[in-house]
Amino acid sequence: MACKLLCSVWRMPSRWLIFGLIVSSLSVSGVESQGTLVINPVGENKTEPAGKGFVLFCKGNSGDADYTDFKWTGPNNQEILGGPDMQVISTDDSYILSFDKPSPQDSGTYTCSALYGNTIRLTISVHITFYHDITWEECPLSQHVILGQEGKVRCRVRGNPVPMVSWTKDGRLMDSQRYEGTDDGVFIRSVQEQDKGLYLVSAMVAVTGKFQKRNITVDVYTPPSISAKMPHSSELVEGTQGTLKCSAEGYPPPLYYWFDQANRNLSTVNGFQVDPKSGILQVNAVRREDEGTYRCQAINPANSDSREVAVKIVVIPKITEFRNATVSMGQEVTLECRAHGKPTPDIKIRQDGTTRFPLDQHFKILQTHNDQQETVLTMSATSAAREMDGLYYCSAENKAGKVERVGHLTVQFPPQVSARENPVKTWGQRPAVLECLAEAIPNATLAWFYRKQPLQERVSQYFKVENSPGASVLTVSPSF
């Protein structure tokens, strides 16, 4: 029976066989002629940078029928009709969706649809992720933190999708007990010297495969600290060049500024010079009105420090009066020396040829002050003696310096006459030479007498008189 059935099938008339082949061929041709859509650029998922123009091309891919009624719908399933940032453009063979400046908010699934042969609705979709590329904000390549304070290495990494950020220091992972990562950098709890070095911040986005890194050099600054050895007071001498010195520790080395009691920056004031690197304040010519409080300020990027100095002006003594004096022997004698200075000078009087200042039974010394702010030293004796005659030096001295002035005390006394030889002898025709000496202040006038008569009246070839200060020589030539 089976054999008969099989044989009967194979004996089927040829017209039926041809009909079956035609039906089969029509069925296959109908499947191949059905249209499809394609979106260019090709790909079901796309990742594109935000802010940059981007277009999608949708068009029919196959089939003999026409493609009509193209539409684009966005992530909200609403038809896109166009707008300021997104346009729909129709061409002969494509339906274009154009993004002018897309943002991450424009990310999502976009669908293109069209009618094929006016009967079949075809669709195709693509998912687009618009991302912001990795950007660096507030991320200087050279930074500093301050020793002993809380610090931060600043660097804010932005991107959409949000980048994954990691930090290393000098090629090693950082100690989480001392360092804490934040959105805008790395927080350091208490800065130490070891915190300086090279920091590397890396940013990567898994979705886009983007990767960037940045090296940041970090230095540790030390706030200025003015030396404790700097004096709180100083003295400058009037009329001289004065100097004040300020020194401080700190990194970077601080710059120095000086201010006076009127808070003037002395770098800009005539008569003063400031070296900002060495901290030296120079007063070109010190005046009494320069006395007051001065302030040194040391500044670097970490902080500043200041110190005040009380400046006193000392004045070299000046002797205003030390007069010569003339008295007669036995009379009262007074020498007076006047001087002023700041501080009040110490005044002394000494006689020439001595280094000590006399204070004995002959002199009484009194030091006083007058209304002219002068120091007055009075040295007096009740009875002038010959040995008091001569040069005297008044000395005025204080911490600013010492000055001296010379004066002369003349003690007048009557002549004291003496002969160099008495009696004077001669013989033969030899002349006799008689010499008379006289000590006196003022100088004495000498005269010769012979037999109680002035010798000048008897000057002849036998007598010759030669006078000099304090001496007179009489030459007598004998006659026979």
SS3 for 75-138 is CCCCECCCCCCEEEEECCCCEEEEECCCCHHHCEEEEEEEEECCCEEEEEEEEEEEEEEEEEEC
Q: Are 375 and 404 in contact (CB under 8 A)?
A: no
Question: What's the pLDDT score for residue 255?
Answer: 98
The helices-and-strands tally (H runs, E runs) of the chain is 2, 36
For the chain, how long is the longest CA-to-CA vector? 223
What whole-number distance in Å separates Cα of residue 217 and Cα of residue 225? 25
The answer on pLDDT for 28 being more than 90 is: no
| Cα→Cα distances 236→1, 266, 286, 312, Å | 144, 17, 7, 6
The answer on pLDDT for 44 being more than 50 is yes
CATH numbers and ranges of domains, the chain: 37-132 (2.60.40.10), 138-223 (2.60.40.10), 227-313 (2.60.40.10), 323-413 (2.60.40.10), 420-476 (2.60.40.10)
> How large is the average pLDDT for residues 79-85?
89
Pairing, β 453-454 against β 390-398 = unpaired
In this predicted structure, what is the pLDDT of residue 62?
A: 83
| Pairwise CA distance, residues 219 & 309, whole Å | 33
State the average pLDDT over residues 471-478: 85
Cβ contact 97:88 at 8 Å: yes
Which residue's entry shows tokens 């000055």?
Answer: 403
* Percent of the chain residues topping a pLDDT of 70: 90
For residue 7, the model assigns a pLDDT of 30
Residue 340 near residue 398 (C-beta atoms within 8 A)? no
pLDDT of residue 30 exceeding 50, the answer is no
Is 90 exceeded by the pLDDT of residue 253? yes
434-463 pLDDT, tens per residue? Answer: 899 998 888 888 888 888 888 765 556 778
pLDDT digits (tens, 9 = 90+) for 283-335: 999 999 999 999 999 999 999 999 999 999 999 999 999 999 999 999 999 99
Which pTM was predicted? Answer: 0.63
Size (the chain), residues: 480
pLDDT in tens, 373-406: 789 999 999 999 998 999 999 999 999 999 999 9
The pLDDT score that the predictor gives to residue 458 is 56
